[in-house]
Amino acid sequence: MQKEFVFGGLPMRVLFGHGTLERLPEEAERLGMRRPMVLSTPEQRADAEALIARLDTLGAGGFFRATMHTPVDVTEAALAAVAEWKSDGLICLGGGSTTGLSKAIALRTDLPQIAVPTTYAGSEMTPILGETSNGEKRTQRSDKVLPETTIYDVDLTLGLPAALSATSGLNAVAHAVEALYAPDGNPVISLMAEAAIGAMVAALPAVLAAPGDRHARAQALYGAWLCGVCLGTVGMGLHHKLCHTLGGSFDLPHAPTHAVVLPYAVAYNASAAPDAMAVLRRQLGSSDPAVALHELGRRLGAPASLGTLGLRESDLDRAAQLATERSYPNPRPLVRQAIRSLLDDALHGRTPR
Ligand code: NAD
């Protein structure tokens, strides 16, 4: 019998396809932008400048200093640029770091945003913002930070490096996996999560085999979109808590950490989330979803252990304590010693159990 549920959709407009970036000027006008500010990381500056050139009928400005973890001092510098340019909108071209900067500016100015994602992180589909100041990362939810429009242009992902495609893709899969057992889950999100996992699991090996494969890239970006909707709509559990702790307190890199931890989080929750495991067995074609995800990571060449990402044996007690000191919803109760042994297995890259 169907369980009780509450469904709430997020207001957003999504354009998906090949070459959809061509529609950016009309989408900017649709939101009343006359002087948008285009945001990127230093690494994607040339692409952002090309995008500004494309917006020649609008007086677009540029700020190219987006960086990991959305440091507040960078946001303040961007706010000064936005004020000086008298910008009336934000266009972010890039991964989760650039989308994060756009959201941080929107939180403080309420400016409309157009996201143009170039990784599979999914931040553009969420009302969630993580910001860092004084070495501490804080996360909040606000409808103000959800981009009004997202333009998914598959062509922009053709050059996403193989290593980042793998880790960013597994980061996306983690959103869908945890949506399957979220206490505030609902049948629509479960349908999206299952479709998302199926798309990503089929697409990622093909993307790694041929990064320029337009069909595989389209399937991966489609899956990433659905994964992002899962993240934005329902609450996440142990996996995201562990990754947040490892990123925030031990400075481990975002997407690779997700890629390593996911199989272990699935193994931990397997006995307490039978419906979610049934979906994973179906989509992964394996009787043991945790082991199948571990093997997928190896096949994609993702980092094999938290040790390779910089975590040390001496960090385990503190990491387990931080990940369990406050309670949060998770299918299996959080037992500190069991979480420590999960982290110990992940530190060494052992087969999840
Ligand atoms: P990222 O945005 O940090 O990008 C990593 C690097 O890859 C950057 O140098 C970027 O310029 C480059 N890059 C991006 N796309 C490229 C492309 N197509 N070709 C070549 N280079 C490209 O990495 P990410 O994994 O997308 O985002 C991670 C950040 O996003 C973290 O800070 C994380 O906390 C945040 N995040 C937030 C949410 C949310 O809902 N708030 C969701 C997911 C991730």
At 54-94, the pLDDT tens digits run 888 788 999 999 999 899 999 999 999 999 999 999 999 99
Distance 62 CA to ligand 1 centre (A): 18
* Average pLDDT for the chain: 96
Question: Please, which residues have CB within 8 angstroms of residue 43's CB and are 6 or more apart in sequence?
Answer: none
Measuring from atom 38 of ligand 1, which residue has the nearest CA? 123
Residue nearest to atom 17 of ligand 1 (CA): 160
Question: Residue 56: what pLDDT?
Answer: 81
Domain residue ranges in the chain: 13-157, 162-348
- Residue written as tokens 């609008």? 58
Cα of 6 vs centre of ligand 1, distance in Å, is 31
Per-residue pLDDT at 160: 97
Q: Which of 2-11, 266-275, 288-297 has the lowest mean pLDDT?
A: 2-11
Residues with CB under 6 A from ligand 1: 41, 43-44, 68-69, 94-98, 100, 118-119, 121-123, 126, 128-130, 156-157, 159-161, 164, 168, 231, 254-255
CB under 8 A, 24+ apart: contacts of 248-252: 248/132, 248/136, 248/137, 249/318, 249/319, 249/322, 250/310, 250/311, 250/315, 250/319, 251/310, 252/306, 252/309, 252/310, 252/311
Per-residue pLDDT, averaged over 156-183, amounts to 98
Residue of the CA atom closest to atom 4 of ligand 1: 95
Answer whether residue 120 shows pLDDT above 90: yes
pLDDT of residue 1: 67
* Structure confidence by residue, pLDDT tens digits, 240-260: 999 999 998 899 999 999 999
| 125 Cα–ligand 1 center, Å | 14
192 has a pLDDT exceeding 90:
yes
The answer to whether residues 269 and 280 touch, using CB atoms and an 8 Å cutoff, is no
Query: Rounded to an integer, what distance in angstroms lies between the CA atom of residue 95 and that of residue 98?
Result: 6
CATH of domain 13-157: 3.40.50.1970
Burial class (CB in 10 A: 0-12, 13-18, 19+), 338: middle
Query: With 80 as the cut, is the pLDDT of residue 96 above it?
Result: yes
Place 147 in a pLDDT band, splitting at 50, 70 and 90.
very high
Rounded (10°) angle between helices 289-299 and 274-284: 40
**ipTM of predicted assembly, 2 dp:** 0.99
The beta strand positions in 248-341, using DSSP E, are: none
Q: Same fold for the domain at 13-157 and the one at 162-348? A: no
List the one residue out of 94, 133, 124 whose CA is nearest residue 106.
Answer: 124
| Ligand 1, atom nearest to 167 Cα | 25
Confidence of residue 191 (pLDDT cuts 50, 70, 90): very high
Question: What is the mean predicted confidence (pLDDT) over 137-166?
Answer: 96
144: CA distance to ligand 1 center in Å?
A: 20
Residue 137 has pLDDT above 90, yes or no: no
Q: Confirm or reject CATH 1.20.1250.20 for domain 162-348, answering yes or no.
A: no
Task: Judge whether residue 261 has pLDDT over 90.
Answer: yes
Angle between helix axes 316-324 and 336-348 (nearest 10 degrees) is: 130
